[in-house]
Amino acid sequence: MATRTLRIAMDGVTGRLGTHQHLIRSMLAIRNEGGLALKNGDRLVPEPVLLGRNAEKLAALAAAHGGLAWSADTAATLADKTIDIYFDVAATGGRLERALRAIAAGKHIYLEKPIANSSQEAMQIVRAAEKAGVKAAAVQDKVYLPGFHKLRTVRDSGFFGRILSARLESGWWVFDGELHPAQRSSWNYRKKDGGGLVLDMYPHWRYLLTGLIGPIKAVSCRKVTQIPRRIDEAGAPYDVDVEDEVFATFEFESGAMAQVTTSWATRVKRDDMIQIQIDGTLGSAVAGGHKCFVQSLAATPKPSWDANAPQAMNFDEQWQEVPDIEPFKNSYRWGWEQYLRHVAEGAPLRSPMLEGAKDVQLTELCYQSDRERRWVDVPKL
């Protein structure tokens, strides 16, 4: 058994998502467990190289985790022949240029979503990677969350029969900075920095729902800016020029429909901050990030409406929870393991860069639908 090393330049990893999900719970967790077992018996050990613009933050993060390699010089890092992979978790704005630069340097690339600001830009990345012969993939983490993984297993078992419809509801209240600091960075609310709720979350909803139901045929969408003024990290007020609440309907090639509501201006009264319900002829299922509940046709109640008395049934109690069968693993780590095996031994890839381009395409069509106030068909990419 041999040990193989892959050096990975992790750009933007000093941010919250990059530090906690991609570095600590993915890269370092894999490395601390001795690496990934490959088919031939070798162990694949990832070696992160922290990359960014702020040398002070990079040095502090590197020191906090045992003296990791770091660099604030992108050109030198990409010129380093020992670097195998370029990973981008920096702000969406500028991702196209960073990705193309890494591809030109011969690096395999793994990009956080959205992989670009438009489908045209996204396809530039796809074609450049294909031409250069590098392995390219997009992060699609939420499909690996335990609840949604269980939901897919329920689907695969044939539990639903014919899928009729789905409802995806996501959101919470993001403070504007007056009473409490905002839970999201201010760049999320500025268009020039790649902000906006559609661009941020609807790539996730595309790969989740297409993975469960199938290709999306058409989209109808309306968006709104509910909180037009916020306070940034420095305490300065700024105007919001992107949407913070979205209402969309997807029509699938199968004939199923999905209602998708997403908001940073709502308060949660459901089991989870993200929840999907799928209804089929033989049963229904409801899943959040970690739990999944089912109700079969045979176990479906027959409620009655009485305007003169409160509802006697407790509907929540009539659902059965899907048990935990597989051990929990961080959803970002699932994606990393698949991608690293793809680079090292050509293992199948669930989220090639073209899928990332399709995620971006859906956001574009949502914006088009809102702008033109009509249904928009989804063309093939």
Give the domain ranges of the chain. Answer: 3-140+330-351, 142-329+361-372
The pair of three-digit structure tokens given for residue 147, joined into one six-digit string: 């609840």
pLDDT digits (tens, 9 = 90+) for 200-221: 999 999 999 999 999 999 999 9
pLDDT of residue 277: 98
Asked whether the predicted pLDDT for residue 125 surpasses 90, the reply is yes
Does 117 have pLDDT greater than 90? no
Whether the pLDDT of residue 1 is over 80: the answer is: no
Q: Give me the mean pLDDT over the 332-339 stretch.
A: 97
Q: Is 296 exposed, middle or buried (0-12, 13-18, 19+ CB in 10 A)?
A: middle
Give ∠ CA 171-207-106 in degrees, rounded to 5: 115
Residue 328 has pLDDT above 90, yes or no: no
- Length of the chain measured in residues: 381
Report the alpha-carbon distance of residue 205 to residue 213 in Å, rounded.
12
CATH no., domain 3-140+330-351: 3.40.50.720
Q: How far is CA 229 from CA 101, 143, 219, 234, in A?
A: 36, 33, 29, 15
Whether the pTM exceeds 0.95: the reply is no
| Mean model confidence pLDDT for the chain | 96
* pLDDT for 10 beyond 90: yes
Write out pLDDT tens, residues 300-317. Answer: 999 988 899 998 899 999
CA distance 257 to 239: 35
Residue 161 has pLDDT above 80, yes or no: yes
pLDDT category at 92 given cuts 50, 70, 90 is confident
Examine the pLDDT at 368 and tell me if it is beyond 80: yes
Give the pLDDT of residue 33.
Answer: 94
Q: Per-residue DSSP letters for 150-195?
A: HHHHHHHTTTTSSEEEEEEEEE-B---SSSS--SS-GGGG-GGGT-
The two structure tokens encoding residue 99: 């990705």
Helix (H), strand (E) at residue 270: none
Sheet holding 283-287, edge to edge: 320-321, 292-296, 283-287, 274-280, 163-171, 257-263, 245-252, 216-224, 376-377
**pLDDT band (50, 70, 90) for residue 93:** confident
Return d(Cα 180, Cα 62) in angstroms, integer: 30
Fold for 142-329+361-372, please state it. Dihydrodipicolinate Reductase; domain 2 (3.30.360)
Helix (H, G, I), strand (E, B) or coil at 75: helix
As a whole number of angstroms, the distance between CA 121 and CA 381 comes to 13
